[in-house]
Amino acid sequence: MDPIIILQAGVTTGTVLLFATLGEIFAERSGVLNLGVEGMMLLGAMSGFSVAVKTGNPWLGLVVAMLVGGLISQIHAFISITLQADQVVSGLSLTFLGTGISLVFGEGLSKAGTISLLPAFSIPLLTQIPFLGQIFFTNQSILVYLGYLITPLAWYYINRTRPGLHLRAVGEYPSAADALGINVFLTRYLYVFVGGAFAGLGGATISLAISPGWFSELTTGGQGWIAVGLVIFAQWDPFRAMGGAYAFGALRRLILDIQGPTMIFGLANPFYYNSYLGFFLQMLPYAFTVIVLILGSREAMRKRIGSPAALGNPYIRGERGL
């Protein structure tokens, strides 16, 4: 029940959500809602772990996980962008498909052996920073540091670069972008791929670094869905996504730790004495997601900010009355 440890672990486990959320931000910014995150994460976790076990190289596993996530996302891209199907149903089917395929190929994988983990280390000087140093820079996985790096880069890319400008335009007003020669279809395919690769990375972050192994559907345990919810809370902004992801990570750790001590705030700890109450603790991340959604949409209503204007709508070119 040491708050520093909880926060430190929160950053570690939150990195999974961070990757998945960032990926979904990219896809949604281009106007494609992808509800297949859970399926893509599972595939990433399965393929990454599988490759790492077979080759002994976790780095290769990481790359394969990203590729697999990106490739499977292209099914959703094809169905929703080219075939103009409903993005909600298409994304759902991707989750079913991804879950199914990862279960089939992951058969027996949980007993397949152990892997060498991706390295974790401390950053020499930065660990000295009081409080923050221990939370952020002490004995963290390399993927956590990757998260620190990618988040500002993602923000900069979306808001301050030419491709980012194009990305936003495609998600807000595709026909305007098209009229100026931006390939809307290609752009959307690309960012759906990016979203898939990030989801794959998120999945592999679990199976290769944070809680290594393959535990079928329990590997992700609905984090893909939480990521979709976090995107709304984050209002499509990478930094807000980062805050949200780490908060969720901390919550997960808190749930584990709160069952340890016999006394809590000077009272007998009910979670210690009645382990079944732990089931209520398990509900917390999901209940918290719902609360976050309520807060997020109230704020959005007050500030009148919305999702990317073209989110969820297929772009049909050459339609009459353009």
Contacts (CB under 8 A) with other proteins, residues 207-226: 221-222, 225-226
Closest to other proteins by CB, 180 or 267: 180
Closest to other proteins by CB, 90 or 141: 90
Shortest Cβ distance from residue 262 to other proteins (Å)?
19
Place of tokens 């984050």: 234
Q: Which stretch binds other proteins (CB under 8 A): 60-68, 78-86, 116-124, 260-268?
A: 78-86
Shortest Cβ distance from residue 215 to other proteins (Å)?
14
Shortest Cβ distance from residue 259 to other proteins (Å)?
14
Considering only residues 226 to 255 of the shown chain, the ones binding other proteins according to CB under 8 A are 226, 228-229, 232
Contacts 24+ apart (CB under 8 A), 283-290: 284/251, 284/255, 285/226, 285/248, 285/251, 285/252, 285/255, 286/222, 286/226, 288/248, 288/251, 289/225, 289/226, 289/229, 289/230, 289/248
Burial of 165 (0-12, 13-18, 19+ CB in 10 A): middle
Measured distance between the N- and C-terminal CA atoms of the chain, rounded to whole angstroms: 60
Q: How many of the chain's residues bind other proteins (CB under 8 A)?
A: 81
Closest to other proteins by CB, 82 or 122: 82
Look at strands 267-268 and 263-264 and give their pairing.
antiparallel
Considering only residues 6 to 25 of the shown chain, the ones binding other proteins according to CB under 8 A are none
> Is residue 97 part of the contact set for other proteins (CB under 8 A)?
yes
> Is residue 90 part of the contact set for other proteins (CB under 8 A)?
yes
Q: Which stretch binds other proteins (CB under 8 A): 3-11, 128-136, 146-154, 314-322?
A: 314-322
Shortest Cβ distance from residue 62 to other proteins (Å)?
23
Burial of 274 (0-12, 13-18, 19+ CB in 10 A): exposed
Tell me the Ramachandran region of residue 194: left when phi exceeds 0, alpha when psi lies from -120 to 50, beta otherwise. alpha
What count of Cα atoms within 13 Å lies in the side-chain half-sphere of residue 83? 12
Write the DSSP symbol of residue 110.
G
Element (H, E) at 191: helix 184-205
Considering only residues 251 to 290 of the shown chain, the ones binding other proteins according to CB under 8 A are 274, 276-277, 279-280, 282-283, 286-287, 289-290
- Which position among 59, 105, 148, 271 is part of the footprint of other proteins (CB under 8 A)? 105
Considering only residues 35 to 54 of the shown chain, the ones binding other proteins according to CB under 8 A are 35, 39
> Is residue 138 part of the contact set for other proteins (CB under 8 A)?
no
* Dihedral Cα 243, 235, 44, 66, nearest 10 deg: -100
> Is residue 167 part of the contact set for other proteins (CB under 8 A)?
no
> Is residue 110 part of the contact set for other proteins (CB under 8 A)?
no
